[in-house]
Amino acid sequence: MRQGWRWFGPEAPVTLDDVRQTGATTIVSSLHQVPIGRAWTEREVANRKSMIEATPAGRSSLTWSVVESIPIPDAVKRTGGRAKTEIEAWIASLEAVAACDIPIVCYNFMPVVDWTRTDLDYETPTGATAMRFDQERFAAFDLFVLQRQGAGDDYSRDDQDRARRVYEAMSDEEIAEITRIITSALPGSTTEPLTIPGFRDKLDSYAGIDAAKLRQNLIEFLQAVTPAAEARGVKLTLHPDDPPRSLFGLPRIASSASDYAALFDAVRSPANGMCYCTGSLGVRADNDLPAIARRFASRIHFAHLRATKREGDGRSFHESAHLEGDVDMVAVLKELVVEDRKRQVKDQIVFRSDHGHRMLDDLTKTVTPGYPAIGRMRGLAELRGILHALDAIPS
């Protein structure tokens, strides 16, 4: 398996030399500066690739192997194959990536909001901080800040009462902060920042789109783009919903094994693959992570390895250390190693340690939320240790 690292570009606090010191050799990156929906050019991709792979004298080499992500415009999620202009632009971006010999593209199909948290610096017992999704704070935002039409139907009376108490205890600064976190798009997001009125309008645009319709729209998108990907040797990897359940009354369609099975059955191209994210899938207690890895092994080309810890209400969770929480990382890696041993070197699974704790010196530095250097390096070291142990066991 190839050890990857998400890099947000030349303006990011973590530099390429920092990445080299972690031991990672494969870069996961994107053209975050390009507006969503505008086709990437081969020149833009080549310039970023040169920046990553032009190795200074005496330095370890790095390879850009995964694009995360080429954002899918909202029109595709709402109208599927009818969004012909947007799909053509997406294929043009894919072709630019393929022309630069980058073999894996990650994407997601979450409507309106991408990955969602309510706290970016939740203090853990060690003094490090983690990202957290607090169900009561989320409900307080949905019901009393956003004031989403019909939100009351999604919460029990007890849920609403608790959310009201949480909201009434919030200061103006806390309300502004949770609004910023939820509506402003977290790092790497493939959705656009929104104001509260804009958020309501965007939700209204999904009226009448249920899970079946959203899934059909994704299938139509895949039917349009996978021939181009397959012809150019690019693997498309769908990231799970995060968290893997409905938010704001919107459908989610990449949350479970049955969700992925439906997509693989509908679009059988070998280019139609999976980004296996243990943290996102692990939020649901009914997701058997080793079984999912075993079932879809041949479809897994890219893996986000992190652990989440479900809290007492079963809906709140926080990012745990990589070998803690509710993810059996040893069992997961056993399954991935079995698959990886079957592959040629060029087709090995790329993984990256995802979402590290903010700890040590990073507590006093400017960091990208969810992507501090030290916490991710700790996670990568732990994962690497498991892999070394598994490599010592004969196949």
Taking the C-alpha atoms of residue 91 and residue 95, their distance in angstroms, rounded to an integer, is 6
* DSSP three-state, residue 28: strand
Taking the C-alpha atoms of residue 368 and residue 23, their distance in angstroms, rounded to an integer, is 20
Q: Of 304, 318, 322, 357, which residue is the catalytic one?
A: 304
Q: Of 301, 318, 322, 355, which residue is the catalytic one?
A: 355
Taking the C-alpha atoms of residue 21 and residue 100, their distance in angstroms, rounded to an integer, is 26
Strand order from edge to edge, sheet including 307-310: 119-123, 129-133, 317-320, 307-310
Taking the C-alpha atoms of residue 323 and residue 383, their distance in angstroms, rounded to an integer, is 8
Taking the C-alpha atoms of residue 321 and residue 298, their distance in angstroms, rounded to an integer, is 28
Is 100 one of the annotated active-site residues of the chain?
Answer: no
Q: Which of 67, 29, 119 is nearest to 229 (CA)?
A: 67
Element at 263 (helix H, strand E) = helix 257-266
Q: Of 239, 301, 322, 357, which residue is the catalytic one?
A: 239
Is 371 one of the annotated active-site residues of the chain?
Answer: yes
Helix 257-266, helix 211-231: angle, nearest 10:
50
Beta strands in 124-271, from DSSP E residues, in sequence order:
129-133, 235-238
Is 106 one of the annotated active-site residues of the chain?
Answer: no
Q: Of 100, 106, 275, 277, which residue is the catalytic one?
A: 277
Is 239 one of the annotated active-site residues of the chain?
Answer: yes
Q: Of 260, 354, 357, 362, which residue is the catalytic one?
A: 354
Taking the C-alpha atoms of residue 373 and residue 290, their distance in angstroms, rounded to an integer, is 28
Is 277 one of the annotated active-site residues of the chain?
Answer: yes
Is 355 one of the annotated active-site residues of the chain?
Answer: yes
| Total residues belonging to the chain | 395
Residues with a catalytic annotation lie at: 239, 277, 304, 354-355, 371
